[in-house]
Amino acid sequence: MRRGLEVQPPAAVPSRSVTEPQREVGVGPHPEPWPDDPRLDPELLAGGDRRNVVDGYRYWRREAIVADLDGRRHPFHVAVENWEHDLNIGTVVRNANAFLAAEVHVVGRRRWNRRGAMVTDRYQHVRHHATLAAFAGWAREAELPVLGIDNLPGAVAIDAFELPRRCALLFGQEGPGLSAEARALCEAVLAIRQFGSTRSINAAAASAVAMHEWVRRYAAAP
């Protein structure tokens, strides 16, 4: 140990809450007189709207937002296996809301962690299937091809595949990926091209990439 060297304590780091202003989310009370529009919620008009919605839906009733979305939903569905209470499912639901999927199908356990959904599940239709067989039966009845999304040997790159307009994109459990039973019911398994050292991206990220690939081909610009 060197003698005569005085060690100075580290400088204090200012608190972010002190140095940075808090960003206000949403809008405050609507100026009076209020618009005469049945889609608007009097409580939100009076108290402000701090919800996680785009500006075009400010002050709208939740039922009115869902009805408007239902008139524009895309004809693709998203399904995800839920055998281990996967934390990614909430984000998959949020992504499905962002890309306006027709429905999200949770296969396996009914309960799923809603934290990642950021309350978007209020505006997104979510259906539960207790088993993969039940989901497969629903898909057959709806005449929807099921396409698995997983980076498996023999999988076809999603950007090179003729993705049908009406389809169900099926994602596996985080970690193991698509189960063997899930792979068996898929008409094709599609991979997302990767170029780094990691074996895979998580289910939440993969769902966003896959849904955007559908949107890139079929959805008109907003």
- Amino acid at the residue 102: A
Query: What pLDDT is attached to residue 221?
Result: 67
Q: Which domain holds residue 203?
A: 73-218
Same domain for 144 and 202: yes
Q: What is the mean pLDDT of residues 46-52?
A: 96
Query: What pLDDT is attached to residue 176?
Result: 85
- Give pLDDT tens digits for 125-159: 999 999 999 999 999 999 999 999 999 999 999 99
Same domain for 65 and 95: no
Examine residue 8 and state whether it is found in any structural domain, yes or no: no
Query: What pLDDT is attached to residue 14?
Result: 53
Same domain for 100 and 61: no
Examine residue 117 and state whether it is found in any structural domain, yes or no: yes
pLDDT surpasses 90 at 17:
no
Query: What pLDDT is attached to residue 110?
Result: 92
Place of tokens 């076809």: 156
Find, among 32, 23, 70, 69, the residue nearest to 50 by Cα.
23
Same domain for 61 and 130: no
Examine residue 108 and state whether it is found in any structural domain, yes or no: yes
Same domain for 104 and 178: yes
Angle at 168 between CA 165 and CA 173, to 5 degrees: 145
The average confidence (pLDDT) of the chain is 91
Q: What is the mean pLDDT of residues 78-88?
A: 87
Q: What is the mean pLDDT of residues 79-90?
A: 87
Q: pLDDT above 70 covers what percent of the chain?
A: 88
Q: Please state the domain count of the chain.
A: 2
Same domain for 196 and 151: yes
Residues 186/148, Cβ–Cβ less than 8 Å = yes
Local structure of 201: helix, strand or coil: coil
Q: How far is CA 217 from the centre of its chain?
A: 19
Query: What pLDDT is attached to residue 1?
Result: 41
Q: Which of 18-22, 40-44, 101-105 has the lowest mean pLDDT?
A: 18-22
Compute the residue count for the chain.
222
Same domain for 162 and 88: yes
- Give pLDDT tens digits for 175-201: 889 999 999 999 999 999 999 999 889
Same domain for 59 and 96: no
Query: Cα dist. 186→22, 63, 85, 156, 182 in Å?
Result: 47, 34, 22, 13, 7
Q: Give the residue with greater pLDDT, 2 vs 122.
A: 122
Query: What pLDDT is attached to residue 11?
Result: 52
Q: Give the residue with greater pLDDT, 7 vs 77.
A: 77
pLDDT surpasses 90 at 3:
no
Place 220 in a pLDDT band, splitting at 50, 70 and 90.
Answer: confident
Same domain for 122 and 41: no
Find, among 53, 55, 11, 59, the residue nearest to 34 by Cα.
59
Same domain for 52 and 129: no
Local structure of 107: helix, strand or coil: strand
